[in-house]
Amino acid sequence: MVICPEGYDQPQPENLEFWKAIWQNATHASWISGDMRFYYVFPCRQFYKYWPTPAEVYRGGLSKTLKNPLLLISETHYPATPLRHGRRLREAFGSDNARLIVHHGYGHGSHLDPSDCTDAIGRKYILEGILPDADETHCSANAKPFSPSYQSALDEAELTWNLRMTRH
């Protein structure tokens, strides 16, 4: 998920009325998640000077060669962001710019449906900058929903997520 997009280097609004209008639009459009989305974007735009300078800012067509290729992860069983969209995005960027992990799992986000395979590929990319050779790599979740091991996998994922959040 891209939370802090390319607007990091744009001029800052002169006053809080700008942010108030954005918040009002967001909460009007979605009274359920308007607040949440606003609070994801606000720190990026308002406190950008505390973040490191991005390695690359993407500002153009999908045929451009990227300095840093993308690793996309798409779930097989999540209707809000279907796998076909992940495949179309990877195809649009091309083999030189993106690889796709097809995460055979359920729910919103692969981190909530753990896969040792997905995690290993993600870790290798983040720590070493190494992408899989294939355009598309298939990884299965460690457990199926409603199986006895699924709850323990969820508990482990939640614990890992909470530990990550306390470090930042």
Query: Which of 47-51, 57-61, 107-111 bottoms out in mean pLDDT, i.e. has the lowest?
Result: 47-51
Query: Is residue 100 within 8 Å of residue 74, measured between CB atoms?
Result: yes
The residue type found at 66 is L
State how far the Cα of 24 lies from the Cα of 32, in Å rounded to an integer. 13
Q: What is the pLDDT of residues 24-43, one digit of tens each?
A: 888 888 877 777 777 777 76
State how far the Cα of 168 lies from the Cα of 51, in Å rounded to an integer. 12
Between 138 and 66, the higher pLDDT residue: 138
Predicted pLDDT of residue 122: 94
Highest mean pLDDT (candidates 7-11, 22-26, 83-87, 140-144): 83-87
Average pLDDT over residues 126-142: 95
State how far the Cα of 49 lies from the Cα of 76, in Å rounded to an integer. 38
**Predicted TM-score of the model (pTM):** 0.65
Q: Quick one: 46 exposed, middle or buried, by C-beta within 10 A (0-12, 13-18, 19+)? A: middle
Residue 125 pLDDT exceeds 70: yes
Predicted pLDDT of residue 131: 95
State how far the Cα of 92 lies from the Cα of 135, in Å rounded to an integer. 12
What integer best gives the mean pLDDT of the chain? 80
Distance (Å) of CA 50 to CA 9, 47, 58, 72, 158: 12, 6, 20, 27, 28
